[in-house]
Chains A and B, each alone.
Chain A
Amino acid sequence: MNVSMEFLVASGIGWVTACGVFLMLRGRSFPVVLGLTLIGYAVNVFIFAMGRLWTGAPPIIGNGEVIADPLPQALVLTAIVIGFATTGFVIELALRSHHESGTDHVDGKEPGA
């Protein structure tokens, strides 16, 4: 049986999303930040894949007949950079919250406290 790239990409996106959501639902801020990062990866690849999958066809004019869809790539490029900025912001938010509340639990207090 031949495995298709499409299957690998789709299942990969799903798996990373699942891992991301699970981590996002943890109680401590650090796993939540990692979860958000993972969801960021999955979303970026998902948007990128909306232009369908192409091999050996970078969107450079004059590089051959078939050329990949450049629009999702342009969207994702800025999304990656903004995703990085959000990660940075959230980790610094987690630090501040830890400093203010004395706990790194997202609810701002130790469970049961």
Chain B
Amino acid sequence: MNPLATIVLLPLLAGTLLCFGLGRDNSPARRTLTVLAAGAVTVAALALLLSLAPQILAGQTLIAHTDWVPSLGLSIGWRLDGLALLFALLITGIGLLIVIYAHFYLAASDPAGKFYTLLMLFMAAMLGVVMSDNIMLLVVFWELTSVSSFLLVGYWGHKEEARAGARMALAVTGGGGLVMLAGFVLLGQVAGTYELSELLTRGDIIKADPLYPLLLGLILVGCFTKSAQVPFHFWLPEAMAAPTPVSAYLHSATMVKAGVFLLARLYPVLGGTDLFEGVVASFGLATVAFAAWVAIFKHDMKALLAYSTVSHLGFITFLIGLGSPLSAVAAVFHILNHATFKAALFMSAGIIDHETGTRDLRRLGGLYRLMPWTATFAMTAAAAMAGIPLFNGFLSKEMFFHEAVESTLPWGVAVPVIATLAGIFSMAYSVRLVHATFFNGVPKDLPPDAHPHDPPIGMLAPVALLAVLCVVVGVLPAITYGPLVHSAATALLGTAPPDYHLAIWHGFNLPLLMSAIAVAGGLALYFTLQKSFGLPGYTPQRWSGKASFTCLMDSLFAFSGRLTGRIENGSLQRSLALLVLLVLILAVAPFGAADRLPEAGSRTLLDAPPLAIVVWALLLAAGGTLVWTHHARFQAVVLTGVVGMVTALTFVALSAPDLALTQLSVEVVSTVLLLMGLALLPQTSPRESTSLRYGRDAALALAAGGGVAALAWLMLTRDHASISWFFLDNTLPGGGGTNAVNVILVDFRGYDTFGEITVLGIAALGALALLDGLRVKRPTVDTAGRAWSFEQQPLLLRVAARIVLPLALVVSAYIFWRGHNLPGGGFIAGLVTAVALVLQFMALGQARAESALHGAAGRRFSRWIGSGLAIAGLTGVAAFVFGKPFLTSAHGHPTVAVLGELPLASAAVFDLGVYITVVGATLLMLSVLGATSKENHG
């Protein structure tokens, strides 16, 4: 398999499945196995990346493509260039440290399988985002990061704030992703491709298009929500309810960087215009200063770090927004630096929380004495965050100041001033973090069982490694991160950046002065706030992002509640009327739009004989009476039967003998069924509809009837071209029978019939499930005083039933047999048999008929349905033996002594299956209804 696909698929398949399988049991041994599996998968992906790294650093771009849905422009395309490599190394590298750290962080009762499965899923999603070469594929992975982060933030689902934080993160980042998808669709339409490798060469076409501002805006919403830029920043602090390893991974190193990654990825396509620079850099700059200011006043360590992250993301966004090539170098360099020190700080916060039971800066203090190693590493990382010389953060901050001074943004001198202010604030919150945690007296109000000390090596080692990196990179940037930064910046810009030097010392210049002001100003600011005001907590204003989000969500819920309440008031009767109305509107609308109404066709019509007119009049009368007197239910059943009979007569008159036979036998069974049901329901319907409702329903009914009649008339007066003539030509040579209807059912369209008898079986089993075990007492007489059942079954009926049964069975065998050539077949034979058996129920009574048939209250008949379906299915499968497709039929006409020439077809066996299913389903429905109905003698 292609190595690029393997890198993504390793965590996606191997990682999730292994962790899920091993972690189902939360015993200590299994927990260890789970973490080993997660670690091994991560190491494998990392090793694969490192093996490819030399080629990428040498300037190559690896691309692999497989078609997915070519008609939609979707392909599974992977891409590994400098930018993707930088992010992929971050994802797997920091990921490995998190896997180790989390093993020691999670409590023994936290399910490790769930955590690592989700972590692997997230890692795969992130790798997918950074390595996709198709922007639609990228969207899929993008949304997968939102979903998996939702699950990870909500890992401790029993906590209210975890659920709320997870929900908000999903709503903001997932919603932004949808907006971005719209932008991507526009982008693909404008560019004519969804492949990044082609898009990257078509920047000029896209930027010249009138849709460019719109698609840029849509895509930026996606990037800004994901990377928590003001005004979408508010979800990130709320997501701090996540377990700390999740925050360290998602909210410092990876997911929140997806937005800036996308900005960088699409820079050659979208970037470089005044619009891009103005919007992106301005939002970035506003975010840097605002979030850094807010961070100073946060009392929760993780909230402080979250706002700091927002600020640093703004830092990177600002740099990408600026047009200059050197700012691109600074941006990718800071992506690496920030991930390094911020992951270390989050992990330190997790250690402190773990050891002291609190993250509140007002209660912590003096921990330097109690946990010196943790303090040392955390302070190293904090120094990098503040931008102190000799630490890596200093280098990128210098470049940031340099770019701010050089910027061509229309805000003039405000840009370097805001940048310096942001530097002061960063220094202040970094100092606060260190001072309030490790110095400043002793810890206050700790839980009595807390004895803070340095954690086990497994928890400390990841922090240590990152802290050491901060220093090494700070001193020797060019030989550590240098090559990676160079190749990523090249990929970002589309061309190699001009000469630059990653070094500590650039001489005395303006950026150095700004750094000095930031450090001194930050110290002064913090200690002033500390001494004079005691850092009186910052309370969010009423118009804060979180409050407006909550308000928006609440009003959305209220609105949809009102809308639903208005449309759906719980009345099915009303919904059904609305449904009919909607169907009418949809059916009539096209005619309203047409130039003229369709007219009747010119087919030669059939003269109606007088008898037909009489039957028609009978139908009108029966229907009218039925509607008028439907409150008397028994009579309504009889009138419904009349309509059914007219239907059967219609089939007889119009050359459909098979249908007439079917309709007749169905009529008998369903009338019995309706009466059995009626015995258990009220005998009359109350007159409760208002005249308004009657009028409304009558109008709907007449409109529906009129529409159907008009449609039928338009069709019937036209000649038609039918595919049926093919069936007629092939019925005899291809199907071996002369009854075209039956041959179509069991041969040409046997597959459909198989489906239909399956539906029949399901309906019958559904009825069994509804009523099985239910016992309803029914009155012995109806409202008119007529008995529902015989005291003693009348002799004549018993005798008749006894004689009719064998006769009916013979008849149905005959109908079955001749069905292939003359009207008949499995359906009709099955119904005739069912009618004969129904007569037994009526003549012998429920109990005796049941015992004679071993019905077991209908349950036994499910076996009939099963056998019928099995026979039909096996006939179909038998065709496989002869190498033919499912349900291919065979037929022959062997001559047998005595009986003469026999028309035999394999379709007859299939029809037998149909027969058994029909008998089984019919009897099941009757039998289960009969069993439900208990005589009320009391």
Contacts and interface: CB of A to CB of B under 8 A. Distances in A.
A74 B623 contact: no
A77 to B, nearest CB: 5
B655 A54 contact: yes
Contacts of B759: 82, 85
B650 interface: yes
B-side interface size class: 35 or more
A58 B627 CA distance: 34
Most B CB within 10 A of own CB, among A4, A10, A54, A95: A95
Contacts of A17: 701, 704-705, 708-709
A91 B764 CA distance: 12
B712 A95 contact: no
B689 A26 contact: yes
Contacts of A14: 705-710, 712
A99 B929 CA distance: 13
B461 interface: no
A63 B203 CA distance: 73
Interface in A1-46: 2-31, 33-34, 37-38, 41-42, 44-46
B479 interface: no
Interface in A55-82: 55-63, 67-71, 73-74, 76-78, 80-82
B658 interface: yes
Contacts of A29: 681
A61 B918 contact: no
Given A5-B612, A15-B623, A52-B716, A99 B776 contact: yes
A92 B677 contact: yes
A8 B929 contact: no
Contact of A73 (B571, B580, B659, B689): B659
Interface stretch (B66-74, B383-391, B613-621): B613-621
Contacts of B688: 27, 111
A4 B606 contact: yes
Contacts of A78: 745, 752-753, 756, 827
A49 B728 CA distance: 18
A18 B662 contact: no
B745 A68 contact: no
A15 B620 contact: yes
A101 B906 CA distance: 50
Given A34-B640, A48-B659, A71-B723, A55 B745 contact: no
B756 to A, nearest CB: 4
B741 A59 contact: yes
Interface stretch (B186-194, B221-229, B630-638): B630-638
Interface in B643-660: 643-644, 646-647, 650-651, 653-659
Contacts of B651: 48
B396 interface: no
B663 A80 contact: yes
Interface in B687-732: 688-689, 697-698, 700-702, 704-713, 715-717, 719-720, 722-724, 727-728, 731-732
A6 to B, nearest CB: 4
Contacts of B655: 54-59, 68
A25 B653 CA distance: 32
A80 B666 contact: yes
A85 B766 CA distance: 10
Contacts of A9: 650, 654, 712, 716
Given A24-B580, A81-B666, 6 more contacts: A5-B608, A6-B603, A52-B719, A58-B655, A71-B744, A78-B752
> Which 3 residue pairs of A and B lie closest in terms of their CB atoms, listed nearest first?
A14-B709, A18-B705, A70-B740
17 contacts: A4-B606, A12-B646, A15-B709, A16-B619, A17-B701, A21-B580, A42-B708, A46-B711, A60-B823, A61-B728, A70-B728, A71-B722, A71-B724, A78-B756, A95-B771, A106-B573, A111-B688
